[in-house]
Amino acid sequence: MKLTGNTVFITGGGSGIGRGLAEALHKLGNKVIISGRRKGHLAATIKANSGMQSVELDVAHPASIAAVAKKLIADYPELNVLINNAGIMQIDDAAGAVDEAVLVPTVMTNLLGPIRMTSALIDHLKKQASATVINVSSGLAFTPLAMTAVYCATKAAMHSYTLSQRYKLKGSSVTVLELAPPWVQTDLLGGKSDPRAMPLQEFIDETMTLLATNATEILVEGVKMLRNNVGPDEGAFLTQFNDRLAQSPH
């Protein structure tokens, strides 16, 4: 991916990985527009990064997506990079009755949100000389964390959707990438200070290096054990992985 001269729209750009990517791309001179539901996070990010723009967006609501897409196309006609990053992660219980208050928002935000966001912008992106869609999935798309089964399922679905999207857009001006992070020190599940998670800046630095290559899957070194476990013998590692993360950090 070309890392300069872009107009970039990032969902969930007010915190965590989204903010990290936004700031890294902003520092390279790209025009960056971030979005999110929380005004305070957006305002803080914009204040810290002069020239960055923001727009309120809730990707769980189709009307919000439609309105923001219309505004983006009108205000930023050179928009050529979409990063579908917004997501929520909540604990659930796949061994019992799954709470609708967890199930519905997670699927709406993590799966329907990026599909709808891309759908709203894809015709515009196709008109650009060179455009990129980056779908943020997770290492947990490949080796799920059992206590967040719905979250992991939405990320696995995004991996599948990305493969189809990339195939359908071959030969067009739009490149489709998948960014699958490992556990990173962000606000998701209170992991910001967990020593078992990858420091955010380290993740951003390694990710930016990989984005500059021709890779279609952006995989930092720390996520490869999860990505590469898929297959007929994946059960043993999955059990070991979940047992280990169920323990408290020391």
State whether residue 9 is helix, strand or coil. strand
- Kindly report the pTM of this predicted structure: 0.96
Q: Please count the other Cβ atoms lying within 10 Å of the Cβ belonging to residue 189.
A: 16
CA dihedral angle for residue 133, residue 113, residue 115, residue 238, rounded to 10 degrees: 90
Clarify whether 161 is annotated catalytic. no
**CA distances for 67 relative to 17, 25, 33, 132, 167, angstroms:** 24, 25, 15, 21, 28
| pLDDT at 18 > cutoff 80 | yes
- Percentage of residues in the chain having pLDDT higher than 70: 98
- Give pLDDT tens digits for 30-74: 999 999 998 999 999 999 999 999 999 999 999 999 999 999 999
Backbone dihedral region of 100: left (phi > 0), alpha (psi from -120 to 50 degrees) or beta? alpha
The model's confidence at residue 249, banded by pLDDT at 50, 70 and 90, is low
| pLDDT at 151 > cutoff 70 | yes
Please tell me the predicted confidence (pLDDT) of residue 248.
Answer: 60
* Domain regions of the chain by residue span: 7-245
The model's confidence at residue 250, banded by pLDDT at 50, 70 and 90, is very low
Q: 192 with 185: CB under 8 angstroms?
A: yes
State whether residue 140 is helix, strand or coil. helix
Please tell me the predicted confidence (pLDDT) of residue 196.
Answer: 87
**By C-alpha distance, which of 107, 129, 217 is closest to 166?**
217
**CA distances for 16 relative to 21, 25, 93, 177, 185, angstroms:** 9, 14, 26, 19, 8
- Give pLDDT tens digits for 154-211: 999 999 999 999 999 999 999 999 999 999 999 887 777 788 899 999 999 999 999 9
- Share in percent of the chain as helix, strand, coil (round to 5): 50, 15, 35
CATH code of the domain made up of 7-245: 3.40.50.720
Catalytic: which of 76, 151, 161, 167? 151
